[in-house]
């Protein structure tokens, strides 16, 4: 087991099958057909209580701006899930098992309404992003205000060994039982330690010796199994109902989600005789996927592969939301329109950044230092054009489709010229996609990126003279924006709270222009 400063002797290892060293180095073993045992398994659930001296990493009350979940009628609980996972391969073009029954212990962090009658029954399971080498709650960052207002449940799942390393640094005693480790590897492992030591060992793309990222696929399935299990689910969800269960992820985690849907949705459905997940929401990941295991993709680095030209036909809704800055961060080909399965949609949102680095609900820098990771440097300029309303609307579309049979809003693609470049209007804003009133009415030039590597975007407001050439005053402008966005609400691309956020951002831009 991977532990801080020490590891168990092999004599103390479990009798269960473990991951062979051939996945770390050496020739691949004989492949086995995909079987149902690990796919259908329900992991053991262990509650990890909060104490005076120990609390979870990502605890809401330790965010950059602390969140009082109790004031929202919510509770936050941490659990460890322990089971056995397969390591898969598709080296020959078909899904097969490379190694079977590798023991693991992983963690989930759950936020649900304190009282069952306040819960909507919608449960969003977020694949924690690993791009900074710790559990990034990207989708909580995007959806938290809506989740708390609507009574949804949020479950975050640790998704990569480098994130487990951060947890060891954060609280060695609390997290010592977490393991994505190969007992037979023969190496010892020390957590990376300080932020400087973390960077020296490769940062978030550094290799964590004797671990296997490919355990994540069965870990995700078994997390869903646990939530659906009458006994385990009741414990994890605190007795609140589960009506709809969605798997979600952003950026690198969106690539995990794409990989999962295209490779595992149908095998899981066949093995279990039904669906674990009632829908999928991926953000800012385009059509990129991850290799199924470290041997095929490299244990370190963000190795990506192109997803299929046409996504797998799934019988549940799958919405992908792209930001404008993805056009620079990823190959342009990934954002081009393509054929979609009947239940799949793509919403491309002009003017939006890949991420929201100014979010107040990210971990406080003191928490990151404690986890052995560098503190965040927050941008001084970013686009005030938010992607959150589109993400919230996409989540609501999943709920309405699953619970009410409501049709998904149509796909909306960026407009391209003959060379594949984004086409812009007279204000410099990208045409096509889902354009909200703040952009359609031309209050500013909203760019999803200032330079190709920028993930936050920038805005260049119009002048005061340009404003008065079109509108008499602030109230008239806001009324026009509200009327335009009302149409998008009716079409399903916007919700009431998303519309309110756009109004707030419009007022910020109007202040910048100097409109009283």
The CA R_g of the chain, rounded to the nearest whole Å, is 23
Query: How buried is 117 (Cβ within 10 angstroms: 0-12 exposed, 13-18 middle, 19+ buried)?
Result: exposed
pLDDT given at position 19: 26
Distances (CA, A) of 347 to 189, 410, 508: 43, 8, 25
Q: How many CB atoms lie within 10 A of CB 379?
A: 15
Strand partners, 104: 83
* C-alpha–C-alpha distance, residues 364 and 366, integer Å: 5
Distances (CA, A) of 390 to 119, 491, 500: 23, 12, 13
Q: Which residue has the tokens 């965010």?
A: 63
Q: How many CB atoms lie within 10 A of CB 333?
A: 11
- Regarding beta strands 305-306 and 288-289, do their DSSP bridges make them parallel or antiparallel, or are they unpaired? antiparallel
Grouping H, G, I as helix, E, B as strand and the rest as coil, residue 283 is strand
Strand partners, 48: 78
Four-point Cα dihedral 330, 307, 362, 293, nearest 10: -120
Strand partners, 78: 48, 109
Burial letters 47-77, b for 16+ CB under 10 A, else e:
ebeeeeeebbbbbbebbbeebebeebebebb
Over its length of 516 residues, how does the chain's per-residue pLDDT go in tens digits?
A: 333 322 222 222 232 322 222 222 223 345 677 778 999 999 999 999 999 999 999 999 999 999 999 999 999 999 999 999 999 998 777 889 988 999 999 999 999 999 999 999 999 999 999 999 999 999 999 999 999 999 999 999 999 999 999 999 999 999 999 999 876 676 777 899 999 999 999 999 888 888 999 999 999 999 999 999 999 999 999 999 999 999 999 999 999 999 999 999 999 999 999 999 999 999 998 888 999 998 887 655 567 888 887 788 899 999 999 999 998 888 777 788 888 989 999 999 999 999 887 888 999 999 999 999 999 988 777 789 999 999 999 999 999 999 999 999 999 999 999 988 899 999 999 999 999 999 999 999 999 988 877 888 899 999 999 999 999 999 999 999 999 999 999 999 999 999 999 999 999 999 999 999
Query: Measuring CA to CA, which residue among 76, 17, 23, 78 is closest to residue 47?
Result: 78
């Amino acid at each position: 087991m991977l532990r801080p400063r020490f590891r168990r002797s092999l004599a103390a290892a479990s009798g269960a099958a473990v991951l062979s060293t051939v996945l770390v180095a050496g020739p691949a073993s004989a492949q086995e057909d995909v079987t149902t045992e690990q796919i259908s398994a329900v992991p053991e659930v262990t509650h990890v209580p909060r104490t005076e001296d120990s609390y979870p990493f990502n605890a809401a009350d330790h965010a950059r701006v602390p969140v009082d979940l109790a004031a929202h009628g919510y509770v936050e609980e941490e659990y460890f899930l322990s089971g056995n996972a397969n390591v898969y391969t598709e080296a020959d073009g078909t899904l097969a098992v490379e190694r079977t029954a590798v023991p693991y212990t992983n963690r989930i962090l759950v936020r649900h309404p304190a009282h069952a009658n306040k819960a909507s029954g919608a449960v969003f399971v977020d694949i924690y992003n690993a791009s900074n080498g710790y559990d990034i709650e990207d989708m909580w960052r995007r959806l938290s205000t809506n989740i708390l207002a609507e009574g949804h449940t949020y479950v975050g799942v640790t998704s990569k060994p480098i994130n487990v390393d951060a947890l060891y640094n954060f609280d060695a005693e609390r997290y010592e039982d977490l393991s994505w480790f190969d007992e037979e590897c023969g190496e010892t492992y020390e957590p990376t330690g300080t932020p400087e030591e973390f960077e020296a060992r490769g940062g978030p793309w550094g290799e964590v010796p004797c671990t296997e990222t490919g355990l994540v696929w069965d870990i995700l399935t078994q997390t869903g199994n646990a939530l659906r299990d009458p006994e385990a689910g009741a414990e994890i969800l605190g007795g609140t109902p589960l009506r709809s269960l969605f798997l979600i992820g952003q950026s690198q985690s969106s690539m995990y989600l794409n990989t999962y849907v295209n490779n595992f949705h149908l095998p899981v459905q066949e093995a279990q005789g039904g669906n674990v997940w009632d829908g999928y929401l991926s953000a800012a990941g385009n059509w990129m996927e991850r290799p199924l295991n470290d041997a095929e993709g490299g244990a370190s680095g963000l190795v990506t592969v192109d997803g299929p030209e046409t996504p797998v036909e799934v019988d549940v809704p799958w919405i992908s939301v792209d930001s404008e800055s993805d056009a620079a961060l990823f190959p342009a080909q990934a954002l081009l329109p393509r054929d979609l399965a009947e239940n799949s949609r793509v919403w491309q949102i002009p003017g939006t950044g890949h991420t929201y680095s100014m979010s107040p609900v990210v971990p406080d820098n003191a928490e990151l230092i404690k986890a052995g990771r560098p503190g965040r440097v927050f941008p001084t300029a970013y686009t005030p054009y938010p992607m959150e309303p589109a993400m919230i609307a996409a989540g609501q579309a999943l709920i309405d489709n699953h619970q009410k049979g409501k049709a998904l809003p149509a796909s909306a693609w960026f407009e391209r010229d003959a060379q594949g470049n984004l086409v812009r209007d007279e204000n410099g804003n990208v045409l096509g996609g889902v354009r909200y009133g703040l952009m359609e009415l031309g209050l500013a030039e909203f760019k999803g990126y200032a330079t190709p590597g920028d993930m936050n975007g920038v805005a260049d407001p119009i002048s005061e003279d340009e404003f008065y050439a079109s509108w008499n005053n602030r109230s008239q402008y806001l009324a026009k924006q509200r009327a335009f966005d009302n149409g998008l609400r009716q079409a399903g691309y916007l919700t009431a709270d998303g519309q309110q956020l756009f109004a707030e951002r419009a007022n910020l831009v109007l202040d910048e222009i100097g409109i009283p």
